Structure 1
């Protein structure tokens, strides 16, 4: 590389070699990142398959936390604590903006032990119209669904908040229920005074309440990431070949410049 400085254009050659070397490193790094994403998606697919392969779990205050595996079918019986319902905002379904309704289901016995249930999705009214009435079935209820480790989170939008209102539960919010961007189980337990199971039940059983129950599914298409990785590695190979071509051309140029020097010395 030091010899390149003896002929015009050497600076451009050095810059080209440096940029091509950087491109190779970046493309390889991106390819490896895509392979990592593929590995993560395979792990998620295996977790979903393992959870759904287990027998349905009957939830109760005595259930072992180790049994609360995500994606496992489960059912719970008790009564709704409507006054502790929360709306989880900015949740879309088929491109329509809406909210999830989350309500604790208190187990039989009335000892403040419950499981948080994501009951379903409702559309957000347009034009500042009020929300439709929240369904409030009474008496003992049995709910079936799939377990999740927590309420699925999303990126915090500007101006959104995930804190429950001060003094809640207490006076009702203007539309009847507090709204949050993301709902944390521990925060809900502290605010409500309930002893919540360390899992969430995403309801799938019909209830005739007008709520939609199409819960988001994580992407498990690992082949797509592998395809992207191959593309990045191909770009890295092209950049590497270009580096070799530029280096070879510079070497030939240097060799051709050295021949006249030898002839001059012989004369």
Structure 2
């Protein structure tokens, strides 16, 4: 039997095993917590029951990042003269335009929110029906790509961004837009493009704690190995010294 495995050293080995297993368990627990937070933030809300728009965002509120894709119900009045067309949008593999018209939201203090009514192959579409409208739309953050509008005099835009849209309306704008869950006014359906994604910093503390516990476990395993090796070496030297001290018989 190796010296380090002698019964009188079992307590030290047991302690080392417990410390290594505990560190590994804590590391796995922290990584699972990290993944759970990311899954929660990136959950697909498109199929949940719609909620009133005012319950998720107000006209002066920042966009609630955890509510991307959440269906909302809004009531208001179309502002058809402020319709714009967002280029470079696809439907069934064809390039075309999103048809986007603002709705002056009831109870929004005169503010409006742009709504994607549907998709069109051309930068033209029928005007929305006059009068009040009630619709359901997927809530989306305004886009912010590096695309540049080559012609600011027309109603065709490369993206839906509040900073670009304010010139087309007299109303204040919500910091969000909606995509109608059902296409309106005979248009083809617009495909939902933005679903929530977890931020790189979501659950970062748990991730770092998890890595830290694995480092602790590796360190404990290293100390265990060194202790076992040094113990064996010390015992061997003691035995060699004892053998040298025994006088040889004549």
Please tell me the root mean square deviation across aligned C-alpha atoms, in Å. Answer: 5.1
Matched residues, number: 198
Query: 2:179 matched to 1:202?
Result: yes
> 2:102 — aligned with what?
104
TM-score scaled by structure 2? 0.53
Unaligned residue ranges in structure 2 (runs of 5+): 1-19, 65-69, 198-205, 246-250
TM-score scaled by structure 1? 0.50
Unaligned residue ranges in structure 1 (runs of 5+): 1-19, 58-63, 123-130, 221-228
2:124 to 116, 134, 146: 134
* Deviations 1:208-251 (CA, angstroms, capped at 9, x unpaired): 5332144357369xxxxxxxx9xxx7x99988776655543332
> 1:76 — aligned with what?
76
> Which deviates further from its counterpart, 132-141 or 256-265?
132-141
Q: Give how far 1:85 is off.
A: 0.7
Larger Rg: 2
Rounded to whole Å, the distance in 2 between the matches of 1:94 and 1:136 is 21
Q: Give how far 1:118 is off.
A: 1.2
| Contact map agreement 2:80 2:101 (CA 8 A) in 1 | yes
* Deviations 1:129-161 (CA, angstroms, capped at 9, x unpaired): xx535213376255423263643x37x4xxx51
* Mapping 1:46-61, distance limit 5 Å: 52-54=50-52
| Contact map agreement 1:105 1:115 (CA 8 A) in 2 | yes
| Structure 1 residues 79 and 193: CA distance shift in structure 2, 3 A | closer
| Structure 1 residues 28 and 95: CA distance shift in structure 2, 3 A | farther
Q: Give how far 1:87 is off.
A: 0.6
> 1:145 — aligned with what?
136
